Structure 1
Amino acid sequence: MKVIIQVAAAATGLLLLLAIGITVLVVGDDSSTTETTDGAGGLQGVPEEFRKWILKADADCKEPAMTPALLAAQLYQESKFKTSVAEATSHAGAQGPAQFMPGTWATWGRDADGNGRNSPWDIGDAVMAQGRMMCSLLRQAAASGYPGGARALALAGYNAGWGRVQQYRGVPPKSFAGGETYNYVQIILSTMTRFQGPALVPVSFSGTGTGPDALRKASTRLGTPYAYGGGSPSGPSTGFCDGLNGYRNGRCVASSTTGFDCSSLTQYAYWPSVKLPRTAAAQYGATSNRPVSRNNLKPGDLLFWSNSSGFIYHVGLYAGDGRVLHAPRTGKTVELVPLASAMPAGDYLGATRP
């Protein structure tokens, strides 16, 4: 919660894979967006360290309007999943990834992660407190009879305090606090689909071992932008353009895009259990002594494509059921697609098992 807004001013600043899907990270502030009624319980496109807590917070709340995507979109609006004091402290004193004011934290904060401290800076503590507060607000919203939908009302209560929702008998209007609460609600509702995935767990993702573990880790980055030269074992990062790659419509976009390219995604997925080298060609060289035929593929196997000159230009992770999870190219995001159409069929080189 950014801050309990007063009338005069608003504060600035704004495990396990349960779902997979394809989404686009480009979002916008569409003030005309209305609350969706899709109750899908899946989650995608959130940092791995937040995933289990978002899913747990959702599972602990029995309100039908609660979904993992709602909590994820709210966290993104509040802090963009930042956790440092420098990046996640508002000028009004709100703290941590869920932006709790100290007084409000005293009500909702608990030591959810069991590390011996109750802190709005701990991801587990913060997300579970966010979930408890939102669950309570959703319950109040459903019982209020106010128009706008339970999610919109609860978000307004989180941002401005439930008293303001009662005062306006709904989401405070644009005229309240410079439109901060109104826009907060609209932005979160419009970005929920960015984080929403199907509710069922694909069987191929439920295995154990190095390969399935790598696949699950990579799947937490579904929806992350492709950035040529970007990404590392630590996560997504900005990329670069090399005169040929990283451009879109004649403009270098890699240097301003935070994401992965194909081989940094596979390197990230396996690290540190298997420390793959950085490029697709090098990864093939490091694992080619363990080839896998196409009819014996298992989740997590590395899939390679090469051009007519023999240059290995792409790598992805086999995701089971004839699919590949990969970072395809500039302008796209990390996605799950049929193997047959992931890249030109004639370029398929083969697979290895790290």
Structure 2
Amino acid sequence: MKFHAFLLCVAFLVQVPAQAAESDVRQSAPEKSEAIPSWANTAQEVLINALSLTGIKYRYGGKSPETGFDCSGFVRYVFQQATSMTLPHGAKAISQLGQPVNKEQLQPGDLVFFNTLRTTFSHVGIYVGNHKFIHAPSSGGSVQIVDMSDTYWAKRFNGARRMETQLHADSSDSH
């Protein structure tokens, strides 16, 4: 499982700079602000942080590698480490942030939400690409990558959010 996570991370790290280089060649207008990090770079940091936590045990209410994670504690910790964004602790509260993303337009680093407790937006994870996401699953489990196409997850998918707008809002608040 860790080798699989490593391969996904390497594939993403190779893909993002290549896309950025192509974009730089085609781009003729200067960027609006170099002080605001690009979402591609931020998403890469989010994934690096998330994948480094694979195997950490699940703990209800957990929010650190030392104590373990629940789903929102995991997402909150990863985003805090990668972006300095402070997300709320709770999948439902996190689902109110960022911008909605269609399932077909998911990009690595997007947040994916599921109905796992007979309540919408009761579970959250981080999309890693190729229909897979990383999350802290439930009691007895540990942070792992799973396939969103699996029947269990496919029928419980509630939506996705991209935190790019949240990142830019947090950046402008600090100036």
TM-score by length of 1: 0.35
- Structure 2: distance between partners of 1:318 and 1:342: 17
Larger of the two Rg values belongs to structure: 1
The equivalent residue for 1:203 is 11
The equivalent residue for 1:283 is 94
Instruction: Give the one of 118, 136, 140 matched to 1:327.
Output: 136
- Structure 1: distance between partners of 2:133 and 2:89: 19
- Structure 2: distance between partners of 1:328 and 1:294: 20
Does 1:267 find its partner at 2:63?
Answer: no
For 1:303-332, what per-residue CA distance to the aligned partner results, in whole angstroms no more than 9, with x for missing partners?
001258543210000001111111111111
- The one-letter code matched in structure 2 to 1:297 is L
**How has the CA–CA distance of structure 1 residues 209 and 316 changed in structure 2, closer, same or farther, with 3 Å as cutoff?**
same
Segments of 5+ residues of structure 2 without an aligned counterpart are 17-39, 164-175
Partners of 2:9 and 2:51 within 8 A in 1: no
Does 1:295 find its partner at 2:110?
Answer: no
Instruction: Give the one of 150, 154, 162 matched to 1:353.
Output: 162
Identity of aligned residues (%): 32
Residue 201 of structure 1 deviates from its aligned partner by 4.8
Higher relative contact order (CA 8 A, sep 6+): 2
Secondary structure of 1:315's counterpart equals: strand
Show the 5 A alignment for 1:93-172.
none
Show the 5 A alignment for 1:206-217.
206=14, 207=16, 208-217=40-49
Partners of 2:115 and 2:158 within 8 A in 1: yes
Segments of 5+ residues of structure 1 without an aligned counterpart are 1-20, 23-41, 45-196, 238-257
Q: Whose strand fraction is larger, Structure 1's or Structure 2's? A: 2
Residue 296 of structure 1 deviates from its aligned partner by 0.8
Secondary structure of 2:89's counterpart equals: coil
Instruction: Give the one of 236, 248, 252 matched to 2:65.
Output: 236
- Structure 1: distance between partners of 2:9 and 2:79: 21
TM-score by length of 2: 0.68
Residue 269 of structure 1 deviates from its aligned partner by 1.1
Partners of 1:210 and 1:270 within 8 A in 2: no
Secondary structure of 1:312's counterpart equals: coil
Secondary structure of 1:210's counterpart equals: helix
